[in-house]
Amino acid sequence: MMSVKRLISLALTVILSAVIVVQIVYAHNPRQSSTFEQIIQTGLIRTVISTSESQFCSKSSVTGDYVGFEPALSVLLAKEAGADVEADFINVSADDIDEALTLLKDQKIDMIVSVSVQKKLASIDTERFSVSKAYYEDPLVLLVHANSNMDYFPSLLGKTIGIENRDYGAKLIKRLIETACIDVNDFNESNFKPLNWRNGVRFNQKDSVSELVELLKNRKISAVLGRRSVLKDFIDEDYKIMGELFYPLEYGVISLKHTDFTHFLDKTIRHFADDGTLDKLLKDNHL
């Protein structure tokens, strides 16, 4: 019969082994369940923003504060987290996407709120990082003359479209096929050559949007195709955005995956989208 001393020794061995297993599992599990609690305790949400594109974020020359759509959104997220929580900003260049992700991975920041930074991301490590519901969408649009009757895709037929990016032209052709404006079998987006295209529309490709707008001004082309965030700056009494929007790029808040904070961000962004908060922020910041 096993002695009491021996039984106690075996029990301690089992308990120690269980503790070691739990530690190993935890070390390989990226979950940081205390993230939100830490934010409440420190009263800060450490936030990466970027002044690379002033339409989203800039620094006031008067107060030195960060202002614009993304700082305002970050402040609202902080208020939702707790009455005494503030957004603490770290400004990085959009070209320093690796630096921003490293800060997040090392838990030196809590979130990245920057369209400029996300634009530089070829892809995101979905095993490590999470992206919330989109807080900003940037669709492809067409800039046309304000007095034109070009409002829907069928009105593009027979026209020449100015593009800066070959892929944008391919997206337009794909959309024209989807809306039955043109009939094309086996369209290959990856092999698309815009200057050789003759079905339904034609393309004129230049190196810059300003060159394309000049061609539009001189009526050498009928429309300029590009992202709304860029072409909206050209809207005036002479130019308008055509009614059809398509293939939006979506931008959300980036955070560490498997945290309570990730759930909070996604839930809160969805709430802001539903109750009109996001729309108001976008309008207030002319986006």
Q: How do residues 140-171 score in pLDDT, each as one tens digit?
A: 999 999 999 999 999 999 999 999 989 999 99
How many other CB atoms are there within 10 angstroms of residue 63's CB atom? 8
Query: Cα separation of 274 and 153, whole Å?
Result: 29
Whole-number pLDDT of residue 30: 39
How many other CB atoms are there within 10 angstroms of residue 152's CB atom? 12
Show Cβ contacts of residue 55 under 8 Å, excluding neighbours closer than 6 positions: 68, 69, 229, 285, 286, 287
Q: Which residues of the chain have pLDDT under 50?
A: 7, 14-33
Tokens of 110: 């809590």
Whole-number pLDDT of residue 26: 36
Secondary structure string (H, E, C) spanning 42-89: HCEEEEEECCCCCCCCEECCCCCCEECHHHHHHHHHHHHHCCCCEEEE
Q: How many CA atoms lie within 13 A of 19 on its CB side?
A: 6
Whole-number pLDDT of residue 112: 95
Query: Cα separation of 107 and 36, whole Å?
Result: 12
Q: How do residues 9-47 score in pLDDT, each as one tens digit?
A: 555 554 444 444 434 333 334 344 457 888 989 999 999
Length of the chain: 287
Instruction: Give the Å distances, CA to CA, from 74 to 31, 70, 252, 253, 277.
Output: 23, 6, 12, 9, 13
Domain ranges in the chain are: 35-135+252-284, 138-249
Tokens of 264: 């909070």
Amino acid at 125: D
- CATH label, 138-249, candidates 3.40.50.300, 3.30.450.20, 3.40.190.10, 3.30.750.24: 3.40.190.10
| CATH classification (class only), 35-135+252-284 | alpha beta
Instruction: Give the Å distances, CA to CA, from 25 to 11, 64, 106.
Output: 21, 45, 19
Phi, psi of 254 (to 5 degrees): -95, 130
